[in-house]
């Protein structure tokens, strides 16, 4: 009986983890590699130097810290929160790719880093709390392995994209792709009918009736 209950719990958690993996994977490949894309954007189209990119990196770090603090205040983070924040960060990435000057870039980089940091923090919370207890270690191990693949795949893909479309084109197209995929997933989840909560697997025992219930009262002697 316990094995059947744990299998049912794992099957209920699996779709959420698959959706979380999809959001995290596409965001890791087509975004988040700002050490590569923003470096080329700042030193190339914006015609700034290494010091300007250092300032951009500082703003990114500040936004990441603020986002982590805000993400820690989420009481019940969900995959929908992760997807919505990832979409917001991706749209800000599109705006960053279209920034006409370094000043505008700095203004846009801060909220982008905040949104993506909150999304990452919420995703980590979901990953660590959603799987059943007996599968949590296995899920985290597989997740770390998949994260390594994403980290290795992202730079070559973005490098090829920048070679074909430039730094601005890579940021814009990558942000649009992430926003489109996560937005489509959120719309699909919103249209899906809500499932009733699963019945409790804990057996319920009937409440024993009082000993005197159902008995006729004893008559008094005449």
Tens place of pLDDT per residue across the chain (222 aa): 445 554 444 444 467 788 888 888 899 888 888 888 999 999 999 988 889 999 999 999 999 999 999 988 888 888 888 999 999 999 999 999 999 999 999 999 999 999 999 998 998 888 888 788 887 888 888 888 888 888 888 888 888 999 999 999 999 999 999 999 998 888 887 776 544 444 444 455 555 555 554 555 555 544
The maximal CA–CA distance of the chain, rounded, in angstroms, is 114
| Segments in the chain forming alpha helices (H) | 2-30, 34-43, 50-72, 79-97, 102-129, 136-191
Other beta carbons less than 10 A from residue 56's beta carbon: 22
Inter-axis angle of helices 102-129 and 50-72, nearest 10: 40
User: Model pTM greater than 0.85?
Assistant: no
Contacts of 47 (CB under 8 A, 6+ apart): none
In contact, 150 and 158? CB cutoff 8 Å: no
């Amino acid at each position: 009986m316990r094995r059947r209950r744990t299998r049912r719990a794992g099957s209920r958690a699996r779709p959420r983890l698959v959706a979380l993996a999809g959001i995290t994977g596409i965001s890791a490949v087509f975004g988040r590699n700002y050490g590569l894309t923003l470096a080329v954007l700042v030193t190339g189209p914006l015609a700034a130097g290494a010091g300007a990119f250092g300032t951009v990196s500082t703003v990114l770090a500040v936004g990441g810290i603020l986002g982590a603090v805000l993400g820690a205040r989420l009481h019940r983070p969900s995959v929908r929160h992760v997807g919505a924040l990832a979409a917001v960060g991706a749209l800000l990435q599109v705006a960053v790719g279209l920034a006409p000057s370094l000043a505008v870039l700095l203004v846009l980089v801060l909220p982008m880093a905040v949104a993506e940091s909150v999304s990452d923090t919420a995703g980590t919370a979901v990953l660590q709390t959603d799987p059943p207890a007996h599968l949590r270690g296995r899920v985290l191990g597989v997740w770390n392995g998949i994260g390594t693949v994403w980290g290795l795949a992202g730079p070559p893909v973005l490098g090829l994209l920048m070679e074909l479309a430039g730094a601005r084109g890579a940021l814009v197209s990558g942000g649009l792709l992430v926003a489109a995929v996560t937005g489509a997933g959120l719309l699909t989840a919103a249209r899906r009918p809500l499932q009733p909560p699963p019945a409790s697997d804990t057996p319920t025992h009937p409440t024993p009736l009082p000993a005197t219930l159902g008995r006729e009262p004893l008559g008094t002697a005449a």
